[in-house]
């Protein structure tokens, strides 16, 4: 019996990186997985790959900044699998640019995906979970929700927002048995980090390497499953020691 046996799990940003590794682990632990991503080509290819392990996988193309498309994710999930138990609210974007030169439209774009989109997915998750006996939500923040860094003001502000959004929603829905926690990754080896930056980022990390997506997936499984049954409103940092400095 897997740790997410027969659970229905929605994973945003499921076509790549941390989301894809988590989807793979959840499928191996018995979950029915809904992959959500803006990138249809990657999403469909990954759906095909996962279907070799389990037929109970569905890809939905959606932009998490669209209220209608987010509503449709949950409509289609319930139509296909009957309910929603787990949501890994993980899709996000990052861009480094000097703040004095940042166009307002660029600021809005980042905050729109990394904070507004996370809220929209959380809201629809909660609406669905209120119809059943609860569920678990894991929001992806970042170690840069805790500490600052030059050139990433919009991203860092949005990720700090995700940490306090997580606390606030966790308190609001604790009595309805909806546990809500956040994952705060450090530098993880995914396409979001430019290839040419990887060595330097590993060098400034106390463990002297980038994190692996599989290491994030295990933490998400912990937060999404009964193994963390007394944990809510928390943000778990997996950063190779970076924020301990
Ligand atoms: N990799 C890191 O070092 C790192 C560190 C801290 C936090 N994070 C966070 O982890 C999460 C996953 O990132 P990753 O590293 O796996 O990157 P990734 O680029 O490999 O995956 C992100 C996925 O999200 C999708 N996406 C982007 N915008 C979307 C939107 N509006 N609607 C739907 N899907 C959208 C992309 O198409 C992509 O498939 C992000 O929230 C990111 O900010 C990553």
Domain ranges (residues) in the chain: 8-232
Q: Give the closest residue to 149 by CA, choosing from 212, 238, 236, 242.
A: 242
| Protein residue with least CA distance to atom 19, ligand 1 | 192
Q: Which of 10, 11, 13, 35 is the best mutation target for the ligand 1 pocket, counting ligand atoms within 8 Å of the beta carbon and taking the most? A: 13
Q: Residue 58: its pLDDT value, please?
A: 98
Model confidence band, residue 231 (pLDDT cutoffs 50, 70, 90):
very high
Indicate the angle between helix axes 118-129 and 67-81, nearest 10 degrees.
Answer: 40
Quick: pLDDT tens for 15-42: 999 999 999 999 999 999 999 999 999 9
Q: Residue 1: its pLDDT value, please?
A: 87
Distance (Å, rounded) from C-alpha 166 to C-alpha 122? 9
| Element (DSSP H or E) covering residue 180 | strand 178-185
For the question of residue 173 being annotated catalytic, the response is: no
From the CA of 175, how far away is ligand 1's center (Å)?
31
Sign of CA dihedral 77, 191, 115, 209: positive
* CATH T-level topology, domain 8-232: Rossmann fold (3.40.50)
Distance (Å, rounded) from C-alpha 199 to C-alpha 77? 40
Model confidence band, residue 197 (pLDDT cutoffs 50, 70, 90):
very high
Q: Residue 95: its pLDDT value, please?
A: 86
Distance (Å, rounded) from C-alpha 12 to C-alpha 236? 19
Candidate list 104, 144, 155, 230, residue with the active-site label = 155
């Amino acid at each position: 019996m897997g740790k997410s046996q027969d659970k229905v799990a929605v994973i945003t940003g499921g076509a790549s990186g941390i989301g894809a590794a988590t989807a793979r682990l959840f499928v191996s632990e018995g979950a029915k997985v809904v992959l959500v991503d803006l990138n249809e080509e990657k999403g469909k290819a990954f759906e095909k790959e996962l279907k070799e392990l389990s037929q109970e996988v569905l890809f939905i193309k959606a932009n998490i900044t669209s209220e209608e498309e987010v509503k449709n994710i949950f409509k289609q999930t319930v139509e296909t699998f009957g309910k929603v138990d787990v949501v890994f609210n993980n899709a996000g974007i990052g861009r480094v640019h000097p703040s004095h030169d940042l166009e307002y439209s660029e600021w809005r774009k980042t905050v729109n995906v990394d904070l507004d989109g996370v809220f929209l997915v959380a809201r629809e998750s909660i609406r669905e979970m209120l119809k059943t006996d609860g569920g678990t939500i894991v929001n992806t923040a970042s170690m840069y929700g805790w500490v600052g860094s030059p050139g990433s003001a919009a991203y860092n502000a949005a990720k700090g927002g995700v940490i306090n959004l997580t606390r606030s929603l966790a308190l609001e829905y604790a009595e309805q048995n909806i546990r809500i926690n956040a994952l705060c990754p450090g530098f993880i080896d995914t396409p979001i980090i430019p290839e040419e930056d990887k060595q330097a980022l590993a060098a400034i990390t106390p463990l002297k390497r980038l994190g692996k997506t599989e290491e994030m997936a295990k933490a998400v499984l912990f937060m999404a499953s009964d193994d963390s049954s007394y944990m809510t409103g928390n943000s778990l940092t997996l950063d190779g020691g970076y924020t301990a400095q």
